[in-house]
Amino acid sequence: MRKVAVVGVGHTDFTAGSSKTQLELMSEASMDAIISSNLKPEDIQAIFCGNVLGDFSEGQGMIQSYLADNIGCFNVPASRFEGACASATMAIRDAFLWVASGFYDIVLVGGVEKATTMGTPLATRTFAMFHDSRYEYPAGFTFPAFFALLTHLYADKYNLPLEKLKEQMAQVTVQSHQYGLNNPHAQFRKEVTVEKVLNSFMVSTPLQLLDCCPFSDGAAAVVLASEEAAKKLTDKPVYIAGVGQASSGKLSSQYKALPRLKAREVSVKQAYDMAGVKPEDIDVCELHDCFSIASIIAAESLGFSEFGKAGELWEKEQTKIGGKIPINISGGLKSKGHPIGATGASQVYEITRQLRGELVDQSRQVEGAKVGLVDTLGGDGVIVNIVLRAE
């Protein structure tokens, strides 16, 4: 296997109610990634694109094919990946192999979504299709309900008073908004307080509004290149050192493990082992904080904390810059926004910029960061992890 580097990145603003189409958003992010890689569209040998709801949100399927046409990558192979919120990370892991194997030297990969077109209540119902929609959705399992259940299970399993856990969860939200304030692409650039989180309206007991990330519109893209090609294109290549992916299946199949998502433990082990790193080697992490409790659960399976204790990381500010493991310095899904099929590419964008040391101006730089981790959760339990390393 050859080494594969991220050589350029692109990212649109994440917003609600974008007036642009998916194709426009994805073209914008893609061209930014291509131009910042010192490349032209005709240099791209293949396209990999994450997208979930394109047919529902604007009646356009197979976005990748129109993307290839729109940005001038004529007749290249272009594939769409769907793995719910993990779609773009799934596409990046796949694109990685096409370069690592020697099949292609330079490829474009990213994701896009217009998730706000439907309005929030309908979006939640629509997105429940990426749960088990035959048996579990009719029983009330939308995603807020799923994570509400996990919150109760977590409090119970680890003997943590629910009020205590909710305070820790509120701290997750507060930190995300604090960093998101300085992310120019973020959807919600405003600070919140623990009090404000705990006084926001109840969505699905015990999850309140500010425990929940929004749906968003936006796109992100990266260009991957072989080591040899990368060295000609950039003096700051960031290598994909390890990848992992696993699917847990429906909620009821996971009842013995919950609130842990076993797929994450399987997936991140693959990524760590391939990269030859351990959790303590990770300098900065973007993880899938679709709900505040999701951050706490993820941090444990990723190896950053004992099980039942991750809330303390946020409580003790160990997840901030300067802490033990800086997490979601982008603002995370909570503040930056969550355009479903784009989220994984946005995470890789963020970690790449951290490892290149480019976030000083935004007061969000984790100084000296060399190894970063991306963690994306799709649906009930599809996990994709990517370890990135600056060398």
Does 227 bind its own copies (CB under 8 A)? Our answer is no
Evaluate whether 6 touches 388 at the Cβ level (below 8 Å): yes
Q: Which region, judged by CB under 8 A, interacts with its own copies, from 12-20, 73-81, 212-220, 310-318? A: 73-81
Binding mask 235-274 for its own copies (x = CB under 8 A): ----------xxxxxx--x--------xx--xx-------
* 85 is an active site residue: yes
Q: Which is nearer to its own copies, 23 or 351 (CB)?
A: 23
Tokens of 370: 């060399």
Does 76 bind its own copies (CB under 8 A)? Our answer is yes
For the bound state, the minimum distance from the C-beta of residue 80 to its own copies, rounded and expressed in Å, comes to 4
Partnered with residue 70 across adjacent β-strands are none
Does 78 bind its own copies (CB under 8 A)? Our answer is yes
Does 112 bind its own copies (CB under 8 A)? Our answer is no
Please identify which of the residues 49, 73, 85, 290 carries the catalytic annotation: 85
SS3 50: strand
Burial class (CB in 10 A: 0-12, 13-18, 19+), 189: middle
Partnered with residue 371 across adjacent β-strands are 389
Q: Which is nearer to its own copies, 82 or 281 (CB)?
A: 82
- Nearest-10 Cα torsion for 196, 206, 170, 188: -60
Does 374 bind its own copies (CB under 8 A)? Our answer is no
| Beta pairing, strands 106-114 & 47-50 | parallel
Q: Which is nearer to its own copies, 74 or 201 (CB)?
A: 74
Binding residue for its own copies, selected from 28, 105, 113, 132, defined by CB under 8 A: 132
Evaluate whether 345 touches 220 at the Cβ level (below 8 Å): yes
Tokens of 363: 């007061």
Number of residues that bind its own copies (CB under 8 A): 61
Residue showing tokens 């330079």: 106
d(CA 28, CA 22): 10
Residue type at 45 in one-letter notation: Q
| Residue 49 main-chain phi, psi, to 5 deg | -135, 125
Q: Which of residues 267-306 bind its own copies (CB under 8 A)?
A: 267
Total count of residues recorded for the chain = 391
* 73 is an active site residue: no
Does 31 bind its own copies (CB under 8 A)? Our answer is no
Does 341 bind its own copies (CB under 8 A)? Our answer is no
Residue type at 127 in one-letter notation: F
So which residues are the catalytic ones? 85, 338
Q: Using CB under 8 A as the criterion, which residues of the chain lie in contact with its own copies when the complex forms?
A: 1, 21, 23, 47, 52-53, 55-56, 58-62, 64-66, 68-70, 74-84, 90, 93-94, 97-98, 100-103, 129-130, 132-134, 137, 245-250, 253, 262-263, 266-267, 378-382
